[in-house]
A = this chain, B = another copy of it.
């Protein structure tokens, strides 16, 4: 049995689901993969629980403590105040104390502040799995250092930059949760297929809005319904603005080898700039003034046999995020509801694209993708 040390950054929904799945799958991982996943540390914003302090053995935090910690966090507790925990203000220091050779650092946070801790972990030859998009969407150099942290010994062969992927970092769940999007792109790249275009719907919330519009609902009605059902963030503009989709688009564009930054992604949100300063309730109240414009756009698209989608489009060196009219009969055009969908149009996938579709958000499914990345890394040098 191989001990696989794990350090979890973030104990929100994804981090907690990941820990639960680690515990639930002990039998599978022991019997089929010869692995024991040892959770050595769990960190939240300003606290940490270390497995070392309680047991000082090779098996990290024990399962009752892990499950207790998950419940504690779900009820709003802070790890700084947990009975096994304490304060932390430096994730790299936690990684330094808790880490050991072969450790996998799992980033389930949603902050760019983890980037430096992740780079520190990779310098220590630890491995990294990101569910967090932010570190991959700041500087190009940070993206390169994270994703190209190479297989041992290969850095020297490749200008110190490691290989293009297949190194000590995985980030599948940053685009479409556990859907095989990043890995599919990486395989197309490795095989030298020419990727002409990637087009994807990466927001379940905006998919719900588009489906409502297509069914003839007014924009204000469908956005308010999405808000009421909890499909949107507390401030629906966090979804409608498109920034989260833009981050995913940037990660895919960089995966193609393009050198670009967030400011190069052309993002068109679904509300005008003058509505950005309203309170949430005023914003929701003001929505009907947008209804006529959306109704016109839906009707104009329909006259050409098209439907509107909120999509990321990566093509011809440009990365755009916004409303597009696509053929109603295309994979994106046939999409309805909250599923994500990505089309890869390439030399070998032409005229019909390679399509991946399914749930693209949610703590459980995202955690399952993180877990698959972790198991994969266990067998990578």
Contacts and interface: CB of A to CB of B under 8 A. Distances in A.
- By CB atoms of chain B within 10 A, which of A34, A157, A184, A334 has the most? A34
A229 interface: no
A166 B379 contact: yes
Given A2-B157, A21-B191, A190-B372, A379 B349 contact: no
B190 A376 contact: yes
Interface in A166-187: 166-167, 178-180, 183-184, 187
A4 to B, nearest CB: 12
- By CB atoms of chain B within 10 A, which of A191, A369, A375 has the most? A191
Interface in A119-167: 151, 154, 157-158, 163-164, 166-167
Contacts of A217: none
Given A21-B192, A190-B376, A356 B356 contact: yes
A380 interface: yes
A304 interface: no
A11 to B, nearest CB: 19
B192 A187 contact: no
A45 interface: no
Contacts of A362: 348
Interface string A312-355: 00000000000000000001001001010000000011001111
Contacts of A189: 32
Contact of A357 (B151, B157, B354, B375): B354
A1 interface: yes
Contact of A157 (B28, B34, B151, B337): B34
A190 B348 contact: no
Contact of A379 (B163, B188, B353): B163
Interface string A187-211: 1111111000000000000000000
A366 to B, nearest CB: 9
A341 to B, nearest CB: 8
Contacts of A158: 33-34
Interface in A1-57: 1-2, 21, 24-25, 28-29, 32-34
Interface in A358-381: 358-359, 362, 364-365, 368-369, 371-372, 375-376, 378-381
A192 B28 contact: yes
Nearest to A172: B187
Contacts of A151: 379
A379 B167 contact: yes
A349 B360 CA distance: 10
Interface of A: 1-2, 21, 24-25, 28-29, 32-34, 151, 154, 157-158, 163-164, 166-167, 178-180, 183-184, 187-193, 257, 331, 334, 337, 339, 348-349, 352-359, 362, 364-365, 368-369, 371-372, 375-376, 378-381
Given A32-B257, A180-B180, 11 more contacts: A2-B157, A32-B164, A163-B379, A178-B348, A183-B183, A188-B368, A190-B375, A348-B362, A348-B368, A355-B358, A380-B380
13 contacts: A28-B192, A34-B158, A34-B163, A166-B379, A178-B191, A178-B348, A187-B372, A191-B369, A191-B372, A349-B359, A355-B356, A356-B357, A379-B381
